[in-house]
Structure 1
Amino acid sequence: MGADHTRSVPPTPPGVRRILIVTVVPLFLVTLVAALVLWPSDAPRPEAADDIPRYHGTVTRVVTETCPPNPAVPEGTPTTAEGPCGTVTVRVQDGPDADQEVQTPIPAGPGAPRVSAGDEIILVSLIDPGDPSTSTYNIAEHQRGKPLIWLAVLFAAAIVAFGRLRGLAALAGLAASFAILLIFVLPGISAGHPPLAVAIVGSALIMFVVLYLTHGVSAQTSVAVLGTLGSLVLTGLLGLAATRATHLTGFGSEDATTLSMFRADVDLHGLLLAGIIIGSLGVLDDVTVTQAAAVTELRHANPNFSRRELYRSATRVGRAHIASVVNTIVLAYAGASLPLLLLLTADSRALGQIVTSEFLAQEIVRSAVATLGLIAAVPLTTALAALVTTAGRGPAPVGTPGPPDDDTPRTTRPTTDRAEALHALSTPPTRNTSTATPSGWPEPDRSTDTRW
């Protein structure tokens, strides 16, 4: 998660490092203690059930035929069964009939897999209730193991090839994120702990592990950690207020309704808040790392920038970043809810009723709360970064050039030549002097965005 914005920066003064350590370490310890308190030691285990035997097989032949007519049906209904109809010959790869060919009906119905010769599929063995000694095979689904493995290998290879050691660290952070979700967050919610508390603690654990593992232990990363943690807490509070104000129950999706049938003790309202928190984390850490890096780079490029100038310049970067990330959040939620949106378009109710229904109101609250938390992360992280970057460092001497981009020695130009060059570059054209100060520099508050 996040982007790599690291480069060689001046060392952080010892006093600033001590302040960051005194601030970050207690927060990390509090997160660990909270994780131990909420640890799902008594998480329920799924009840043992009679699993239907599943075997691997390869399709060798598909024969289609006309579907037989239905028995007596009401007038106006189709007179033939829904297709396709026919038989599929499958060579079984394991089980009692390994290396033998069996015949199964062509899968039919909504969501049924479409098979052709050469497909690797999964068979289920069904026992006839009237004659337990008789069993038949049916095709359940395709085998997806090999395509998923190759996709995962391509995914990892692309990250390592482009990011090298940083890419390896990102993969390790991704593995840690999934481990925390599978070992702590999901079992903790299943054990009956408050989903909002579990989500905040789990997200904080992910944040500490991923950010320091991916971006290294530095003052810049610590600023991103503090900004992310503050934004997560704010997002949780905003989500709590928004869901209460809109009276959302958490039953806004078919998945939640199905879960309530199997696990009546799960707090679906809290689960909705937990989803907002975890869904916001990935975008939040990207924004906070970017803002911390922007302040560091600006200070590195011009050591004479004051704290206020750093904040204003980095905030301009944050505005551009937020403009694109907000669209990312909304489209991500919309893409995950396309079936729901299509279902709502077929609804004959008035638009106001559709928008205020729980199904759609839940998605609106998700997007709005995540966006508000994201916007709050920019000024919070930028202010912290500007404070840390300028603390303990005085302005650079007049005429001191900025740090070089490489290790090649560079000759320092005379101060007079540099001043003359800066004056010539900063002198505005004669036709447009309304935005310039007496010194020749543009107004500091004027936007640097190019006009259309």
Structure 2
Amino acid sequence: MLVPLTLLTLAAMAALWPSGSKEGLTLANPYAAAPGVTFDTGRIQRVVTENCTQASATDSTAQGNTAGGSQCTFAFTEPDKGGNPVKVVINPDIAKSHGVKVGDNIRYLNLSNAQAAATGADAPAAQGSPSYIFVDFVRTMPIILLAILYAVVVVAVARWRGLRALIGLVGAYFVLGSFMLPGLVEGKPPLLLALVGSTVIMIGVLYFAHGFSARTSTALLGTIFGLGITALLAAWATDAANLAGVGSHDAATLVNISDNISISGIILCGLIISGLGVLNDVTITQSSAVWELYELAPNTSARKLFSSAMRIGRDHIASTVYTIAFAYAGAALPILIIVMLYNRPLGEALTSAELSEEVIRTLVGSIGLVLAIPVTTLIAVLVVKATGVRGAGLPGQQPRGRTAITADDVEDTGALAAAAAVAGRENADADAPPATRRGRRAAQRDQPQRD
């Protein structure tokens, strides 16, 4: 099943591959500097609050400054390229919401050369017009440190499998950045684009991180099923709920730069992509649960194995629903606060243009992953009963179709043996007549304390 599906997906990817041409797209770069203007970086040495100088109307609008008498925040910053500290004006919203402090690394706009050129080579800057304007914080080092810490933790806990997962993540972003995003810009069919790109990502990530095995293939089949359900629901919901997405500034910008870009198509593609990670999580976990349960009790019937695995799956469903809901709620927290301050009825707020996209994303993603769990479990039970267990096995077991023993199997043998002992006692109790079980429990209660 997977071989023809993979070949079909790769063929569709080749047919949909974007040209990469950006001809006809005109989008002003907000980070492009005018002649004589540069973006510089530096470290703040001192922060002061002073009266704002009288600025021109343009500067007042750009920086939010008013005439003299109001207070403005300035940061004396030592440029990274060397030289004397410069006086950088801090935007009022930054000064009020977050603030700046000594030691912060910032990026600022250097207008001194442009002002000098406008008023004469040796003339000072125009009176009241700031020469250095705050742009953003420099976050390179904190992000690098967090990325290194994340990689170290993942590799330390998951070992080589974790390292392969990190490398697979890089490949997934390559597909996203080189295939899906340019395809949306060129007006490729968004539903087909999202399905093909997401399937390629899942095939690469699952096999690269977890290896080629029946267990991984089972998870992949369940993932593709959940992906198909999510795509169909997303296509219907985008049209039925009229998700136009033109309320945001970014969407309005995209609409105006090209006639090929469809905001509804971008929303549709986003609904599908947003559920990939959680969908992959539940399918690979459910597949692994079936294999481990069978490895502990290989004589278990298919019906009982399915029921046991679904008890695990129901717990996973409950926790995953919360995961998706709170993840999207956290991302939309500023919007939630604004809607709350509007004092609108709850039903009207949830169906508004501001929140409806997040609500539908949560519902569509949750339905897809919930339906993927029983399907993955059923496929896993059928496959494991046909192929046997994967691992090293336990004393007294005679697994069928065993593959080569891996380092993970050897390290997990002790834990499996302990679990098998418990499972064996539970199975013996379950298969014993009721009178025998009651006798055992009574004997355990009457057992002396010294035992």
What range is the shorter-chain TM-score in? 0.7 to 0.9
* Per-residue deviation, 1:352: 3.5
**Residues 51 and 69 in structure 2, CA contact (< 8 A), matched pair in contact too:** no
**Residues 260 and 266 in structure 1, CA contact (< 8 A), matched pair in contact too:** yes
**Residues 87 and 103 in structure 1, CA contact (< 8 A), matched pair in contact too:** no
1:183 counterpart (178, 185, 191): 178
Alignment-derived partner of residue 246 in structure 2: 251
Alignment-derived partner of residue 38 in structure 1: 16
* Per-residue deviation, 1:168: 0.9
* Per-residue deviation, 1:158: 1.1
**CA shift in 2, pair 1:83/1:277, >3 Å:** farther
Instruction: Please give the alpha-carbon distance, in whole angstroms, between the structure 1 residues aligned to 2:11 and 2:426.
Output: 60
Instruction: Please give the alpha-carbon distance, in whole angstroms, between the structure 2 residues aligned to 1:82 and 1:380.
Output: 69
* Per-residue deviation, 1:105: 4.2
Tell me whether 1:380 sits opposite 2:361 in the alignment. Answer: no
Alignment-derived partner of residue 94 in structure 2: 111
Tell me whether 1:330 sits opposite 2:325 in the alignment. Answer: yes
The structure richer in helix per residue is: 2
Q: Secondary structure at the match of 2:101?
A: coil
**CA shift in 2, pair 1:386/1:252, >3 Å:** farther
Instruction: Please give the alpha-carbon distance, in whole angstroms, between the structure 2 residues aligned to 1:39 and 1:250.
Output: 25
Instruction: Please give the alpha-carbon distance, in whole angstroms, between the structure 2 residues aligned to 1:393 and 1:108.
Output: 65
1:121 counterpart (100, 106, 112): 106
Task: Map 1:223-302; keep pairs closer than 5 Å.
Answer: 223-251=218-246, 253-302=248-297
Aligned amino acid, residue 77 of structure 2: V
**Residues 72 and 92 in structure 2, CA contact (< 8 A), matched pair in contact too:** no
**CA shift in 2, pair 1:121/1:355, >3 Å:** closer
Q: Secondary structure at the match of 2:43?
A: strand
Alignment-derived partner of residue 89 in structure 1: 76
Q: Secondary structure at the match of 1:344?
A: helix
Tell me whether 1:51 sits opposite 2:46 in the alignment. Answer: no
Aligned amino acid, residue 123 of structure 1: Y
Aligned amino acid, residue 119 of structure 2: D
What are the Cα deviations for residues 246-282 of structure 1, in whole angstroms up to 9, with x where unaligned? Answer: 2222335443234323344311111111111111110
Alignment-derived partner of residue 340 in structure 1: 335
Calculate the TM-score normalised by the size of structure 1. Answer: 0.77
* Per-residue deviation, 1:342: 1.0
Q: Secondary structure at the match of 1:164?
A: helix
* Per-residue deviation, 1:104: 2.4
Instruction: Please give the alpha-carbon distance, in whole angstroms, between the structure 1 residues aligned to 2:32 and 2:426.
Output: 82
Gapped regions of structure 1 (runs ≥ 5): 1-22, 72-77, 411-417, 434-452
* Per-residue deviation, 1:102: 4.4
Instruction: Please give the alpha-carbon distance, in whole angstroms, between the structure 2 residues aligned to 1:167 and 1:400.
Output: 33
**CA shift in 2, pair 1:106/1:389, >3 Å:** same
Task: Map 1:352-431; keep pairs closer than 5 Å.
Answer: 352-391=347-386, 400-401=396-397, 406=413, 422=428, 426=432, 428=434
Alignment-derived partner of residue 61 in structure 1: 46
Aligned amino acid, residue 212 of structure 2: V
**Residues 226 and 372 in structure 2, CA contact (< 8 A), matched pair in contact too:** yes
What are the Cα deviations for residues 138-181 of structure 1, in whole angstroms up to 9, with x where unaligned? Answer: 22222111111111111111111112211211111111111111
Aligned amino acid, residue 238 of structure 2: T
Q: How large is the Cα RMSD of the aligned pairs?
A: 3.5
* Identical columns (%): 40
Instruction: Please give the alpha-carbon distance, in whole angstroms, between the structure 2 residues aligned to 1:342 and 1:91.
Output: 38
**Residues 91 and 134 in structure 2, CA contact (< 8 A), matched pair in contact too:** no
**Residues 88 and 108 in structure 2, CA contact (< 8 A), matched pair in contact too:** no
Q: Whose relative contact order is higher, 1 or 2, with alpha carbons under 8 Å and at least 6 apart? A: 1
Gapped regions of structure 2 (runs ≥ 5): 57-64, 126-130, 390-394, 400-409, 418-423, 440-451
Instruction: Please give the alpha-carbon distance, in whole angstroms, between the structure 2 residues aligned to 1:89 and 1:392.
Output: 70
Aligned amino acid, residue 10 of structure 2: L
**CA shift in 2, pair 1:83/1:209, >3 Å:** farther
Q: Secondary structure at the match of 2:164?
A: helix
Alignment-derived partner of residue 143 in structure 1: 138
Alignment-derived partner of residue 167 in structure 1: 162
Q: Secondary structure at the match of 1:90?
A: strand
Instruction: Please give the alpha-carbon distance, in whole angstroms, between the structure 2 residues aligned to 1:407 and 1:316.
Output: 24
Instruction: Please give the alpha-carbon distance, in whole angstroms, between the structure 2 residues aligned to 1:163 and 1:212.
Output: 16
